[in-house]
Amino acid sequence: MKKRPRPKVAFFDFTDCEGCQLQFANMGRTFLELTKLVKIVNFREIMSERGQDYDIAIVEGSISTDNDIKRIKEIREKAKILVAFGSCATIAGVNAIKNRSPLEVAKKTVYGDKANTINTINAMPLDKVVKVDYYILNCPPYIPEIIAVLKSILMGKPYPLPNYAVCVECKMNENVCRYEKDEECMGPVTRAGCNSWCINNGNRCYGCRGLVENPAANGHKEILLKYGLKLEDILQHFTLYNDSAGEKYDKEFK
């Protein structure tokens, strides 16, 4: 039987830190096994070649300039499958903090007298501009989820994102609730799928995966009241990764 050609994969980045792509290097032996199944033609962090013939585009970073809009559309036209990779690509991530202020104010704050020379727009996730076929959430992405999504792509199957809170995974992992340790935690309203990775390692959930579709805002409000926390405290933490999540959460309470 004739072997099917390996699909060609290209990595691209927009406004980001490129930490998400490093997770592929962190896979170690698993990454080497992956190269037997796909042909990587463009991956700036590990190779000098810049192939422009690809089947799958794995894209990191948010859209934050007019040129980004043009470029992501060009990538989308070439790719049979486009994967939004990491928090910036899927929910606009840290870059969306600037959306909390009028754009001109944000530009002046960051660039000072050079603000008028800077071409920038409000930060957006990829799916605000182009069709996205698969999402890999988290900051940085959770390696087991990366592998699960890649398997789905190679098998031609969809990868449904979990639509329940991180708290579910946290309870299954028998963690002590961070609220019991006098810490704010986004777990009650953040989309699961990371196996409560941060909490397992002694941290708290910062909401880097974005909100579940129907966040239990009232339940979270009860938690805040129980532990003497204010809504403003939680919203400040939401702005770390997703401005729109903070606004949505604010509306849920009001």
Using one digit for the tens of pLDDT, what is the confidence trace for 181-236?
A: 888 888 888 899 999 999 999 999 988 998 888 766 666 667 767 777 666 666 66
CA triple 151-81-212, angle to 5 deg: 70
Q: What percent of the chain has pLDDT over 70?
A: 87
Strand segments (E) across the chain: 8-13, 39-42, 56-60, 81-85, 134-136
Alpha-carbon torsion angle 152, 63, 90, 6, nearest 10: 10
Residues in the chain: 254
Per-residue pLDDT of 124-180, as tens digits, reads: 999 999 999 999 999 999 999 999 999 999 999 999 999 999 999 999 999 999 988
Helices 231-238 and 243-253, packing angle to 10 deg: 160
d(CA 176, CA 173): 9
* Residue 76 pLDDT > 60: yes
Encoded tokens for 14? 């927009």
The band of 254, judged by pLDDT with boundaries at 50, 70 and 90, is low
Which CATH class, in words, describes the domain spanning 8-155? alpha beta
Domain ranges of the chain: 8-155, 166-253
